[in-house]
Amino acid sequence: MTSEQRSVAASLQVGGQDHELEKRLDEELTAFNTAAADGATTEPLSVRVADEAADLIGGLTAWTWGSLACVDMLWVRADQRHAGWGGRLMRAAEEEAVRRGCTDMIVSTYSFQAPGFYPRLGFRERARIEGVPGGHEDVYFHKRLRTAEL
């Protein structure tokens, strides 16, 4: 082993949620990824829709990183599903991603959630990973975004 490969004495701990660890890992991985991506930084993106009483109808959280956008979560209240809100939330996120210079968007969903929804929006299925509890799969989608007209 070289001196760079030498292991140090350490303790390994397993536990539940660790906010301090999450913060540190986020900082370290963000710095590493930013350097690897020619300085591209990750920026949060969110879209929300509320009714007249200001009650949440649905929302979307995502991030952009250089030319890539990734949807983390998309949810629509049960009484408003099939009213078009999911598509509107996704289109708003796509428009903002394009405005930020993104050319690609990715998203995953479980097989019991909405795998039929994303192809209707122009996404192509790229992978299915088995092993989700209940015999389900994690389904990954990708879409090339239209670029902003100059």
Is the pLDDT assigned to residue 2 strictly greater than 80? no
Q: What is the pTM of this model?
A: 0.87
pLDDT tens digits along 91-150: 999 999 999 999 999 999 999 999 999 999 999 999 999 999 999 999 999 999 987 554
Please tell me the predicted confidence (pLDDT) of residue 150: 43
Domain ranges (residues) in the chain: 41-144
Work out the pLDDT band at 85, boundaries 50, 70, 90. Answer: very high
DSSP letter string over 79-96?
GGTTTTHHHHHHHHHHHH
- Return the beta strands (E) in the chain as ranges: 42-50, 56-65, 68-76, 104-110, 124-132, 136-144
Single out the residue of 64, 143, 136, 144 nearest to residue 107, CA to CA: 143
**pLDDT higher than threshold 90 for residue 58:** yes
What's the pLDDT score for residue 148?
56
Whole-number pLDDT of residue 147: 72
What does CATH list as the number for 41-144? 3.40.630.30
Q: From residue 28, how far is each of 14, 34, 82, 89 by CA, in Å? A: 20, 10, 41, 31
